[in-house]
Amino acid sequence: MISFGCSSSPKTQDFYGEWKYIKVENPNQNPPNTTSEEELSANDPSITFTSKGDIVMMWGGKQLSHGTFKIEYPTISYQESMADGKIRSIRFLIKKFDQDILVFETMEADAVRVTARKVTAK
């Protein structure tokens, strides 16, 4: 189920800013696996979308991943810049979006679902 806090689809600019991860889970694992609150608190993970089309994922105070993005509702098309100079294409399914909550997940068999709260606009 995909839900939105308003009646229309979110626009790209609605994503701009920093979003702190408040839940990370693997819903398709048996049993489902959720990252502990302690681990999330210790690593302070986040994802930031900029008006220039850049995306940065942070974990443990370090850049985990970066690249460019495009909102192709209901997905986020992410072009990850790899350390070897190659580009990896990843698509995230937007499960929920409202002014300050974003839920997205990887589109693969062993999906990772992230719930994030917006902390700043960029």
Per-residue pLDDT reduced to its tens digit, 48-77? 999 999 999 999 999 999 999 999 999 999
H or E, element range at 42: helix 37-43
Residue 8 resides in a domain? no
Domain with residue 52: its CATH number is: 2.40.128
Task: Compute the chain's Rg from CA coordinates.
Answer: 14
Rounded to an integer, what distance in angstroms lies between the CA atom of residue 122 and that of residue 113?
23
pLDDT computed for residue 99 by the predictor = 86
Whether the per-residue pLDDT at 8 is higher than 80: the answer is no
Place of tokens 């940065």: 56
Residue 105 resides in a domain? yes
Residue 7 resides in a domain? no
Residue 15 resides in a domain? no
The count of domains in the chain is 1
pLDDT computed for residue 32 by the predictor = 86
Furthest-apart CA pair in the chain: how many Å? 42
Q: What 8-state DSSP symbol labels residue 23? A: E
> What's the pTM value of the predicted model, to 2 decimals?
0.89
Rounded to an integer, what distance in angstroms lies between the CA atom of residue 33 and that of residue 10?
29
pLDDT-above-90 percentage for the chain:
84
Mean pLDDT of the chain: 92
pLDDT computed for residue 1 by the predictor = 46
Phi first, then psi: give them for residue 80, nearest 5 degrees.
-80, 130
pLDDT computed for residue 122 by the predictor = 62
Residue 95 resides in a domain? yes
pLDDT computed for residue 23 by the predictor = 98
Residue 17 resides in a domain? no
Are residues 104 and 76 in contact, defined by beta-carbon separation less than 8 angstroms? yes
Rounded to an integer, what distance in angstroms lies between the CA atom of residue 26 and that of residue 112?
5
Most confident of 22-31, 44-53, 113-122: 44-53
Rounded to an integer, what distance in angstroms lies between the CA atom of residue 44 and that of residue 53?
23
Range of the domain at 96: 22-120
Residue 4 resides in a domain? no
Residue 9 resides in a domain? no
pLDDT computed for residue 7 by the predictor = 52
Q: What 8-state DSSP symbol labels residue 10? A: P
Whether the per-residue pLDDT at 83 is higher than 90: the answer is yes
Whether the per-residue pLDDT at 121 is higher than 80: the answer is no
